[in-house]
Structure 1
Amino acid sequence: MENEIKEHEKVDGKGSLLPAAVLLVLVVGINFWIYTTRLPAEGSAKNDAAGPVPGESVSALEEAVLPSQGVRIPVVWNDLGAKLVSVGAIDGEKFIALYEERGAFTDEYRNLLLGGRTGALVMTKDNAGYLLNLFWVLGLASKNPILDMGEMKDPVYGGPQNFASTGGWTLAKGSAMDHYSRHLFFTLTPEQQALVDTVSRGIFRPCCGNSTHFPDCNHGMAMLGLLELMASQGVSEQEMWRAALAVNSYWFPDTYITIATFMKNKGVEWKDVDPKEILGANYSSAAGYRNIASQVVQPTQRHGGSGGCGVSAGQAPVAQQKQGGCGI
């Protein structure tokens, strides 16, 4: 616990301790303002995608990690979008305006937000960012003991309002904290809640050193929302691990292409990896990923992106993907 606290503390000039997450909230807010005010109107849904630059070939390894046809997520969304709007966790007008400004509010997006989507969700390179936002607010607004009694409520951090996962959600009616762990969209049995608790402690993300049980950024909160939704619909633990790895891969494409390269160098194909192992701290935390990346030959950067994409020696460079940020 002491080590975790040190990662989140900053000493000010007077010697008092401030959560580093406060700084994250400020950064998220600034980035959100810059993005929504400067993004060209002619942008398309591909601006949010994790896909390669047009004209560049997709390697077999990249296709294994990020299937071009998408990955089925074993849940039915139903009318959760409309429910999130009805309680004010999503301000529908603001949300739609944001995507229309980007030129990216598709029929699929409208149906997920306002309609009654039936059938299993399919995450693709194009809609990964949109689903990230929906799962983010679902995790934030859903009543759950992990938010009420977990690390987010540890007084050493000054309150859950100081984290990027709360302060960064600017598309609610009122403040994000007006909806924090407040709404009952589904009721989990004790067994289902225990499953969410167990799996959430084993899923890490490369943007920090925390597990989903400590959802202090949007990716962590989104994964928590997805785990709760899967548990409520009777998804098994093994299916949860597989779905979580697929989702993390679309949210952090460079990271998992690099990890897939590392595993391939060890003689393990991506289809044969253990999702629970790959999602653990040794691979998917910030420190774990740095260690893995240091053992993979990195190609010359071919175009922009926020994270490197490693390939093994002798392979053609894999196009860098756009990583998910901590803002909307």
Structure 2
Amino acid sequence: MKLPTSVSFWRTTTLVVLVLFLFNALFVVRITPRFTRSAPAAAPQGASRATEDSISAYAAAVIPEQGVVLPVAWGDLGSKMIASGVIDQQAFESIYQNRGGLTEEEQAMLSGTLAGDVRITPQNAGVLLNVLWAFGLANKNPVLDQGPMQDPEYGGAGRFASTGGWTLASGDPMDHYSMHEFVTLTSEQQQMVERVAQGIYRPCCGNSVYFPDCNHGMAMLGLLELMAANGVAEADMYRYALAVNAYWFPETYLTIAKYLGTQGLSWQDAAPKEILGYDFSSSAGYQNIAAQVEPVSSGGGGGCGV
């Protein structure tokens, strides 16, 4: 039976519209740039790999996994600090029990005798920070007795994070503040310690090591004293201090290395004394660097407590 003309017309029209709709749908999905703009994923993945490779290259130079051997003799300093009450052994071991425990070498450093090298690594940087903090706090030194820590403006040396924050002593930490002659320096060695201390900053604050108001400053003061007692030259003291600061503040120094790269310089080209100075290593100096380059995130580093 022949359909009426009007029915035939509408059937044809419906088919044409359906075909156009399907074609348009295909065209939008496969051709229109609305979708191709959001599609490419290969470039970001490649860029991400390049960034990771770059960070790995910085890390190999700044915080090498194998660590850095420090030119100090530790011996039985840990045992002496336990015997004098500077370190409460049970309290110290307890906090590290919750962090996976101490290695054999770390245990020897704390409560035995470490006859071999003192090596700082990404894994033991926190332990070294704490034992050096205890040493810097307790060892008799004019920096603590006559320096900025004693300024009446601050209401007493016991009000700082480096003193009141040392909660791993037996009793009041101020009972041990500059009270023990574990290491005695000559006049020349002391002058060098003070000179170098005034040139080393840390990104958690704006103070130099000469004003060791936090744990990192106090620990670095202790390290400088040990290096001076071991006859380390002034230029080398800066070099080792930079290596140690980098393990304590990895994100800071990886970012600085990245910034140096934008200036056409490698980490090895950098002068340790300059990098440890106010313009790079103080809180304000580092913030200025971080504003010029995207900061590196490593997930490492600690705060100003035990």
Normalization by structure 1: what TM-score? 0.76
- State whether structure 2 residue 96 is matched by structure 1 residue 76: no
For residues 1-328 of structure 1, the aligned pairs below 5 Å read 59-296=56-293, 298=294, 308-309=295-296, 319-328=297-306
Partners of 1:285 and 1:191 lie apart in 2 by: 27
Q: Deviations over 1:220-258 (max 9, x none)?
A: 000000000111111111110000000000000000001
Q: Give the RMSD, CA atoms, in angstroms.
A: 1.2
Indicate the structure with greater strand content: 1
**2:158, 2:174 within 8 Å by CA — same for their partners in 1?**
yes
Q: Deviations over 1:77-103 (max 9, x none)?
A: 111110111100001111112212332
What SS class does the counterpart of residue 197 from structure 1 fall into?
helix
What SS class does the counterpart of residue 321 from structure 1 fall into?
coil
Q: Deviations over 1:92-130 (max 9, x none)?
A: 111112212332222122111111112321100000000
Partners of 2:300 and 2:166 lie apart in 1 by: 21
Equivalenced residue count is 254
Partners of 1:258 and 1:69 lie apart in 2 by: 20
Partners of 2:116 and 2:231 lie apart in 1 by: 15
Q: Which moved more, 1:71-80 or 1:123-132?
A: 71-80
Partners of 1:252 and 1:128 lie apart in 2 by: 10
What SS class does the counterpart of residue 268 from structure 2 fall into?
helix
Indicate the structure with greater helix content: 2
> Percent identity between the aligned chains?
57
Q: Which moved more, 1:135-144 or 1:258-267?
A: 258-267
Please, which runs of 5 or more residues in structure 2 have no aligned partner?
1-51
Normalization by structure 2: what TM-score? 0.81
Larger Rg: 2
Q: Deviations over 1:169-200 (max 9, x none)?
A: 00101110000000000110000000000000
CA positional deviation for 1:286:
0.3
Please, which runs of 5 or more residues in structure 1 have no aligned partner?
1-55, 299-307, 310-318
Partners of 1:59 and 1:205 lie apart in 2 by: 23
Partners of 1:159 and 1:285 lie apart in 2 by: 24
Amino acid across the alignment from 2:115: T
Amino acid across the alignment from 1:146: V
